[in-house]
Chains A and B, each alone.
Chain A
Amino acid sequence: MEQVLKKKKHSRINKNHYGYIFTAPFIIGFLLFSLYPLVYTFYLSLTDMTLMSKSYKFIGLANFKKLFEDRFFIQSFLNTWKIWLINFIPQLGIAMLLAVWFTSTRLKIKFVGFWRTIYYLPNILMPATIAVLFFNLFSYYGPVNQIGVRIGLFKDAIDFFRSSTWTVGIVAFIQWWMWFGTTLIIIMAGMTSISPSFYESAMVDGANSWQMFTKITLPLLRPVLVYILVTSLVGGMQMFDIPYMLTDGRGSPNGSIMTMNILMYMKFSSNKGHIGAAASVGVMIFLVTCISALIIIKLLKEKESKREIKSINRGVKAYELHG
């Protein structure tokens, strides 16, 4: 009897042990490739390390002091927010509208899966391809000018990539075009997880579509919206590939599409490769992203109920399945 008990105890301990082993790959990967670089970046931001010399020294907060005196940092900060907001607001609006239409039991739109795939497709394309495509479309002798002038849309050819407004607009458009499909899928996942019985009883009570949307859909969708907002913010603050490849890689014209990440890369790839200065930009991006994400979560999470937590989980799962 005693022996049997011992054996049972032994095997239970062993099974607990497996848990650690199975999570080990992720933990090791996280420590090695996520946490260590993060801590190391903080350390680097306090040094004057460059790529071209082997020695470096600790210089305290001098990098940050320089950064805040630099007009370009402030500009890149504002640029990043501007481009993100210009693309995010219509992105959310249009994705929401389409999601309502697609899930609506009254409209009964056909081939929902097909449309959803079509809208998602731009996201599969390489950013490099998209940047080159749009660069050629909007170049001075490109098709947009050729067609636009001939059908009388504008009087003379526009030099799109020498105009700050146009270039910002094009970048925001590309970002919107690439990402509204993803947002649409997550919102739809959130909407289909809302029980139809709510809508049925609302209809019995004589509610119209708008009332159902504001009183049922939106409140129950809040956790999903928090998720979209935060992930999009994190992605938006790190915007790099499209603005980098669209023009000269320095945010031309006039630094109008120079995002914080581009500034960081510029410092890193400058003639001496100022790693320290680049790391200080990286630290600022990290802080900005963290603080704004925390604020968003705090603002939107307060009224959350248990059921909503469930549906956010479902939303996340659906996103993982699709993405």
Chain B
Amino acid sequence: MKKLISMLLVLLLTVSVFSGCGKTEEQANSNQTGEKVLKIWSFTDEIKTMAVAYRGKHPDVKIEYTMIPMTNGEYQTKLKSALQSGEAPDIIALEASFVREFIESDYLEDLSDLLPLAQELRTYQFTIDMATYDGQVKAYSYQATPGAMFYRRSLAKKYFGTDDPEKIQELVSDMKKFEEAAKIVKEKSKGNTYMVASVGDFTNLFFANREKPWVVDGKLYIDPKVDELFEIAKSFRQNGYEAQANQWQEGWFAGMNDSLVDAKGNPKQVFSYFLPTWGLPYVLMPNSSPKEVKVEGSDKTKKVGKDTSGDWACIRGPMPYQWGGTWIAVVKGTKNLELAKDFVKFATLDEENLKNWALGVYTNEYLKKIDPNIGDKLSQGPGDFVSSQKVVEEIVDKFDDASTSKFLAGQNSYRSFAEAAPYISLKLLQGTDDAIQRALNDPLNNYVSGKATKEQAIKQFKEAVKNTLPDLIVE
């Protein structure tokens, strides 16, 4: 008896050691039992909305959705190691900052046969260029993301005497004028209104308007625009034209509903934000209303900030640029190739879906009818700018009295984006851009705050690039 018990114990222990490995086998088995399973990885909930909508059309497909944030590059790293070990999902979402790395690798399926469909929908060429390598189109996007400048109408009236978008555009039509306008804002507000929240807000503009890419013939090339960026950024910091509230941090959002308070307790305001198409419905609108904050020492809440909706306007700004965008690709070697392709087709090249997506049909109730387990948050509001020119032209009028237009005091931002989108070129984009631009952050800050001379900053930049990209020649 004792012998039996001890043998059992030993068995149990050994089994528990290997229990980690067992799980994947089980999952693999369930794949083969009739129901089709599609594994999707992404870095936001957007594709999840798409996936639920897809299930509405194909109830027999089960979707396993995994969301991994990409703040410090966790998503990319996880994805790369999964691809390397062959445990990757069927479909992956790729963000503009790293899509080229994957397009240039040999991990993605060739989706060129969907190209006629894209031509039919007149998908914006730059979204296709971005996903093309060696003549193969490996991913498609459902959005196009031209950038714009959003400013506060009330502040414009106060400091420039007008809130008319065309006149304000005139005042900030290039970077020199933008700097002059910043000076006016500072002087007239006695330093209580900043032109932008941070220098980081407009670095994108300079990167988008370079003449040559970062890497030319395997060597690092520093474009003259980088030099311009250094000078303008320094002027903004040294003269106090920016609030030092970095993007995606509390202070940056606080500027949107006027709840920014400096350390001495003085209220501060931010005149403008540089945001692309998605920035309006996802970032600016949700953050432009008062926030409820708990009062210390009691259960009561108080409201912080004010409702700034209707006080915004949208213009092209000093330079054209684009920011972000999500591409959807199929992983090479997937067992569900046809199904995965069909999903990409549905998400990015389906007229009806794109219309529903842009017009806000996918509300929480709509999605809940398909899958009751999605929770109360998942939904897609109206206003995302889609990749098909055909769809855009058909729906642009519907935004004349949409919530986005009300937010901008009647201005139809969709129309302005529609005008800007065909002129975007992403030919400069390379797989190494993200790493190189991240490496520029610290050196730029050192120069801007006066801690380093320009030579020192450029040297730091080159060293940082060499560290992250060992294969690149840095002179």
Task: Write the residues of chain A forming the contact surface with B, with a CB cutoff of 8 angstroms.
Answer: 18, 21-22, 24-25, 28-29, 51-54, 66, 70-72, 136, 139-142, 145-146, 148-150, 156-157, 159, 162, 244-245, 248-250, 252-255, 266-274, 277
B261 touches A139 (CB 8 A): no
B263 touches A148 (CB 8 A): yes
Q: Which residues of A contact B432 (CB under 8 A)?
A: 271
Least CB separation from B3: chain A residue: A14
> Does B72 count as interface, using CB distance less than 8 angstroms?
yes
A139 CB contact (under 8 Å) in B81, B101, B251, B445: B251
> Does B6 count as interface, using CB distance less than 8 angstroms?
yes
Bound form: Cα–Cα A192–B16 in Å: 37
B251 touches A25 (CB 8 A): no
Q: Which residues of A contact B73 (CB under 8 A)?
A: 249, 269
Least CB separation from A156: chain B residue: B263
Bound form: Cα–Cα A267–B466 in Å: 11
Do A141 and B262 contact each other (CB < 8 Å), given the known contacts A66-B470, A252-B441, A273-B81? yes
Bound form: Cα–Cα A156–B240 in Å: 14
B263 touches A149 (CB 8 A): yes
Do A271 and B449 contact each other (CB < 8 Å), given the known contacts A52-B80, A71-B463? no
Return A238 CB to nearest CB of chain B, in Å. Answer: 18
Do A25 and B14 contact each other (CB < 8 Å), given the known contacts A136-B250, A156-B263, A255-B442? yes
B83 touches A51 (CB 8 A): yes
A140 touches B17 (CB 8 A): no
Bound form: Cα–Cα A245–B69 in Å: 13
A72 touches B251 (CB 8 A): no
Bound form: Cα–Cα A53–B470 in Å: 15
> Does B469 count as interface, using CB distance less than 8 angstroms?
yes
Bound form: Cα–Cα A255–B438 in Å: 13
Q: Which residues of B contact A140 (CB under 8 A)?
A: 244-246, 249, 251
Interface residues in B81-128 by Cβ distance below 8 A to A read: 81, 83-84, 98, 101, 105-107
Do A244 and B72 contact each other (CB < 8 Å), given the known contacts A29-B17, A53-B105, A250-B438? yes
The 8 A CB mask of B438-452 against A (1 = contact, 0 = none) is 100110011001000
A162 touches B250 (CB 8 A): no
Return B132 CB to nearest CB of chain A, in Å. Answer: 18
> Does B149 count as interface, using CB distance less than 8 angstroms?
no
> Does B25 count as interface, using CB distance less than 8 angstroms?
no
Do A141 and B460 contact each other (CB < 8 Å), given the known contacts A29-B17, A271-B469, A273-B80? no
> Does B10 count as interface, using CB distance less than 8 angstroms?
yes
Return A104 CB to nearest CB of chain B, in Å. Answer: 37
> Does B13 count as interface, using CB distance less than 8 angstroms?
yes
> Does B66 count as interface, using CB distance less than 8 angstroms?
no
A271 touches B98 (CB 8 A): yes
Return A302 CB to nearest CB of chain B, in Å. Answer: 40
Interface residues in B443-475 by Cβ distance below 8 A to A read: 445-446, 449, 460, 463-464, 466-471
Do A277 and B470 contact each other (CB < 8 Å), given the known contacts A51-B80, A140-B245, A150-B264? yes
B468 touches A270 (CB 8 A): yes
Known: A28-B17, A140-B244, A146-B261. 18 other contacts (CB 8 A): A24-B14, A25-B17, A66-B470, A72-B463, A136-B250, A140-B249, A142-B250, A149-B263, A150-B265, A157-B263, A162-B445, A162-B449, A248-B72, A255-B464, A269-B80, A271-B431, A272-B471, A273-B77
Return A37 CB to nearest CB of chain B, in Å. Answer: 14
Bound form: Cα–Cα A21–B11 in Å: 9
> Does B283 count as interface, using CB distance less than 8 angstroms?
no
Least CB separation from B83: chain A residue: A51
Least CB separation from A256: chain B residue: B442
Task: Write the residues of chain B forming the contact surface with A, with a CB cutoff of 8 angstroms.
Answer: 6, 10, 13-14, 16-17, 72-73, 76-77, 80-81, 83-84, 98, 101, 105-107, 244-246, 249-251, 254, 260-265, 431-432, 434-435, 438, 441-442, 445-446, 449, 460, 463-464, 466-471
Q: Considering residues A272, A273, A274, which has the most beta carbons from chain B within 10 angstroms of its beta carbon? A: A272
A270 CB contact (under 8 Å) in B17, B260, B435: B435
B105 touches A269 (CB 8 A): no
Least CB separation from A244: chain B residue: B72
Q: Considering residues B10, B83, B445, B470, which has the most beta carbons from chain A within 10 angstroms of its beta carbon? A: B470
Bound form: Cα–Cα A268–B434 in Å: 15
Bound form: Cα–Cα A253–B445 in Å: 9
Interchain residue pairs A-B with the least CB separation, the first 10? A249-B72, A157-B263, A149-B263, A141-B251, A269-B77, A51-B80, A145-B263, A25-B13, A72-B467, A52-B105
Do A252 and B442 contact each other (CB < 8 Å), given the known contacts A141-B254, A150-B265, A273-B80? yes
Least CB separation from B9: chain A residue: A22
Bound form: Cα–Cα A149–B101 in Å: 46
B263 CB contact (under 8 Å) in A146, A249, A254, A277: A146
Q: Which residues of A contact B80 (CB under 8 A)?
A: 51-52, 269, 273
Bound form: Cα–Cα A191–B16 in Å: 38
Bound form: Cα–Cα A141–B84 in Å: 42
Q: Which residues of B contact A157 (CB under 8 A)?
A: 262-263
Do A269 and B260 contact each other (CB < 8 Å), given the known contacts A51-B81, A70-B467? no
**Can you give 16 contacting A-B residue pairs, CB < 8 Å?**
A18-B6, A25-B16, A51-B83, A52-B107, A71-B463, A140-B244, A140-B251, A141-B250, A141-B254, A141-B263, A150-B263, A162-B449, A249-B72, A249-B73, A272-B101, A272-B471
Do A139 and B449 contact each other (CB < 8 Å), given the known contacts A52-B101, A254-B442? no
Least CB separation from B73: chain A residue: A269
Return A240 CB to nearest CB of chain B, in Å. Answer: 12
Bound form: Cα–Cα A53–B102 in Å: 11
Bound form: Cα–Cα A277–B471 in Å: 11
B14 touches A139 (CB 8 A): no
Bound form: Cα–Cα A29–B251 in Å: 48
